[in-house]
Structure 1
Amino acid sequence: MALFLKANWENIIMANYEIDPKILSPFLPKGVELDLFNEKCYISLVGFMFKKTKLFTIPIPFFGNFEEINLRFYVKRKEENGSTKRGVVFINETIPYPIVAWTANKLYNENYTVVPTKHKIIEEKLVKKVKFEWLLNKKWNSIAVTTATTSEKMKPNSLESFIYEHYYGYTKTSENETEEYKLQHPSWKVSEVLDYKIECDFEAMYGKSFSVLNQTKPEAVFIADGSSVGIEWKRNQLDLNNERR
C-alpha cells in the first residue's frame, strides 16, 4: 500500500483525561462509536517529535523535523465480518510550519493549525526530561515529563496499550461522511513517568467544549519511545449506513 506520509515519531507524551462522552458527541464521525476502557471515555493531549518527514517517499527540505501537539479521542468501527477497527479522531493537530499544515489539510481534509512550537529534551544518567511548548495568545503552553531512561513493552490489556494501540484514523468530512485511513507502526515501548507538568489553556486552544479540561487532572500520563510511522494514502469513505464505498 502506497504511503502518503512517512516519518519518525519520537518521545510521544500522552496526557489522558477521563471525559463525559456527551462532550465528544458533536465531534463523532458517522460510522464509528466511542471506544471505552473499563467503561470510561478518554481524551488525550499529545506532544511528540516529527522527524525525517517524507511525503510520498520524498523528503521535505527544511521542514522535515518539527513538534506536533494534538488533542484526540478514541473510537471503534465494527465490521460486517465481526471484527473491530480501533482508531482515533483528532480535534486539532498543531504544528509550526504552514506549508506542511496546508498540504495535510488540502490532501486529507485534516484540521491542522499553525502556531510557534519548541521542545527541550535532556538526557541524564538516570532520568530523561522531555518538554513540548506551543505559543498561544502570547503565552507559552506546555506538556512536560520526567521519565526513567529505560523502556519496556506495554502490558496487554493495560490503559497504556489502549491509548497507544489504535491503528486507524477517522476524519469527519461532513455530517454524513467519514474518511478512514490506516497507520503503520510497531507496538511501542514505554518508560515510567516519574513526574509531569501540564500548562494548557484547553478552551483557548480547542474551544469552549473542552474548557472542562482546564480544571481536570489527567488520570494518567505516559511516554512512548516511538518509531518509524507510515500513513497510507488510500482512504475509505464511509456512508450513512456505515458501509465502505
Structure 2
Amino acid sequence: MSADKNSNKELWDDSHRTWPLPNLPWTMKQNWHNLLFAHYPVKLDDLRRLVPEVLPLDSFNGMGWVGVVPFEMKGVRLRGLPRVKGTDQFPELNVRTYVSVDGKPGVYFFSLEASNKLAVWSAQTFYHLPYKRADMTLVKNDSTIEFESKRRNTNDFNFACNYRPTSEPFYAKKGTFEEWMSERYCLYTTNKKGVPLRCDILHQPWQLQNAEAEFKQNTMLYNQGILVADENPILYFSKKIEVRTWPLVRALE
C-alpha cells in the first residue's frame, strides 16, 4: 500500500467514535480552519427553555455550556463532485450547546451564520439547520485571527473578535472539559414535526491549543435569550481539522 493510501486510511479511521457510522455513503467533505471555541456557563433551567424538550441536555460540573465558534470553511465539496469556486471557502460563526440522544453526545445549534448564499440555502433545506446569511470577514495577521460578522437585514446579531493560540497543540485528556466539549461526532436538529434528527460526522480527535481573545462586539447570546452565568469564557483554539458528514437520520429508531 502506498504512503498516500496509508495516510488516507489513518485520516478516516473511525475507531475513536463510540458508535458506528450510518450504513450510508458520506455526503460532504470540508475542512475547518482557525477555530476559536469560546464557552460560557449557563444554568440548566435557563438552557432548557431554549432547546427542544426532545433533546436531553448535557452538563459539565453541573452547568450547561454555550459555545460561540468562529472559523473558516475550506475545501467544501459534495461526494463525487469537484469543489465549486465561490462556494468552497467562506467564514462561518455558530452558537451551540451540547445534547445527547440515545447515549450519543452531539451538538445542537442555536444559530449559524455564513457568508455563502448557496451554503446557507443548502443547510436550511437539507439539514434543517438555522443558518442565516451574514457579511463576514476573517483575516489572519501573523498568529492573530481577526473575525467580524454582521447578520444581514438586522442590527441585532453582530460579532467581532481578535483571537490567537497561546500554547503548543495538545489532545484533550479523558474527563476534561476540553474533551467533553470537543469530542462529539454528530449534530442534532429537529424537523418541522419536532422529530429529532442526527447528522453523523467523522474527523480525527481535535488538536487544541489554549487561546486568548479580545471581544469587540458580541450580541449573539443575549439576543437569542441566552443568559450566561459568567461573561468570561473558557477559550481554546484549533488550527485545522478535516471532516466528512453523513445524511440526516432519525435520532431515535
Q: Which TM bucket (shorter chain)?
A: 0.7 to 0.9
Query: Counterpart in 2 of 1:81?
Result: none
Letter in 2 for 1:88: V
Structure 2: gaps of 5 or more residues? 1-23
Q: Does structure 1 retain, via aligned residues, the 8 Å contact 2:32–2:241?
A: yes
Percent of aligned pairs sharing the same letter: 19
Query: Counterpart in 1 of 2:189?
Result: 171
Which of 29, 33, 41 does residue 64 from structure 2 map onto? 41
Indicate whether 1:107 and 2:126 are aligned. Answer: yes
1:50-199 counterparts in 2 under 5 A? 50-58=73-81, 59-78=83-102, 84-123=103-142, 128-136=143-151, 137=155, 141-148=159-166, 150-174=168-192, 176-193=194-211, 195-198=212-215, 199=217
Q: Does structure 2 retain, via aligned residues, the 8 Å contact 1:6–1:57?
A: no
Aligned-residue offset at 1:13: 0.7
**Cα 1:76–1:117 shift into 2, 3 Å:** same
Q: Does structure 2 retain, via aligned residues, the 8 Å contact 1:29–1:175?
A: no
Q: Does structure 1 retain, via aligned residues, the 8 Å contact 2:38–2:68?
A: yes
* Runs (4+) off by over 6 Å: none
Bigger share in strand:
1
Aligned-residue offset at 1:203: 5.5
Indicate whether 1:223 and 2:244 are aligned. Answer: no
Structure-2 separation of matches of 1:201 and 1:139? 5
Query: Counterpart in 1 of 2:46?
Result: 23
**Cα 1:216–1:131 shift into 2, 3 Å:** farther
Farther off after superposition, 94-103 or 24-33: 24-33
Structure-1 separation of matches of 2:161 and 2:80? 31
Indicate whether 1:11 and 2:34 are aligned. Answer: yes
**Cα 1:99–1:226 shift into 2, 3 Å:** same
Letter in 2 for 1:160: E
Structure-1 separation of matches of 2:167 and 2:117? 34
Aligned-residue offset at 1:154: 1.9
Letter in 2 for 1:232: W
> How many residue pairs get matched?
225
Structure-1 separation of matches of 2:66 and 2:157? 23
Q: Does structure 2 retain, via aligned residues, the 8 Å contact 1:86–1:168?
A: yes
Q: Does structure 2 retain, via aligned residues, the 8 Å contact 1:30–1:172?
A: no
Letter in 2 for 1:197: E
Query: Counterpart in 2 of 1:232?
Result: 246
Structure-2 separation of matches of 1:129 and 1:187? 24
**Cα 1:182–1:203 shift into 2, 3 Å:** closer
Structure-2 separation of matches of 1:220 and 1:139? 21
Aligned-residue offset at 1:101: 0.5
